[in-house]
A and B are shown apart, each in its own frame.
Chain A
Amino acid sequence: EPEVTQTPSHQVTQMGQEVILRCVPISNHLYFYWYRQILGQKVEFLVSFYNNEISEKSEIFDDQFSVERPDGSNFTLKIRSTKLEDSAMYFCASSYYQDRDSEQYFGPGTRLTVT
């Protein structure tokens, strides 16, 4: 069964550095998402992406964040200048539809640690 994959599984970076988190969504899916979960807190929506454009973003998704689909398979989240509070699990998800009853398929997550 096809799965969403994410690399790396764990990324350690220093404050102020740029990081790129990578995701390969399920191949025939059209809608892509990033969520994050700070330790001990809820999973929070960051951004959704469709047709090479951001569909919606949360207030967390400020100017230091960007997303890109550089080719037909990868979907990336870039954090330009990391802060300590960016430490979290970052989950990528994809779906074929964006109907409100559609399932989103999640990747295993990337644990980002900012020191």
Chain B
Amino acid sequence: AQRVTQPEKLLSVFKGAPVELKCNYSYSGSPELFWYVQYSRQRLQLLLRHISRESIKGFTADLNKGETSFHLKKPFAQEEDSAMYYCALNTDKLIFGTGTRLQVFP
């Protein structure tokens, strides 16, 4: 079965704290994984994809095939990072997790 799991509905941290948003996937082939973000009253937009191995807005995500995970990390959270974060598996269509709301308090 093709599935993406985000176990945390809500993650609350203070500004400057590290954050890790968890994502696990189930897929029999070689996965293509993305993180999408939705800021308040804005559209879903791509944050990063595993294949490009880039850091966007200080966020990174490493694909761990052994643990079937693609956790999103940032060493020092900022208030403007508050948003909904969706992990997604691309199989010519996007299969989304349920999302994690990140709240960063001042």
Contact = CB atoms under 8 A, between A and B. Distances in A.
**Mostly helix, strand, loop or mixed at chain B's interface?**
mixed
Contacts of B95: 45
A101 interface: yes
Interface stretch (B17-25, B62-70, B85-93): B85-93
Interface in A53-69: 55-56, 58
A107 B43 CA distance: 6
**Mostly helix, strand, loop or mixed at chain A's interface?**
loop
A3 B44 CA distance: 12
Nearest to B42: A108
Interface size class of A (residues with CB under 8 A): 20 to 34
Interface residues of B, number: 22
A108 B92 CA distance: 21
Interface of A: 3-4, 33, 35, 41-45, 48, 55-56, 58, 91, 93, 98, 100-104, 106-109
Given A41-B98, A58-B93, 17 more contacts: A3-B43, A4-B43, A43-B86, A44-B96, A45-B94, A48-B93, A56-B92, A56-B93, A91-B43, A100-B32, A101-B51, A101-B52, A101-B90, A104-B46, A106-B36, A106-B44, A106-B45
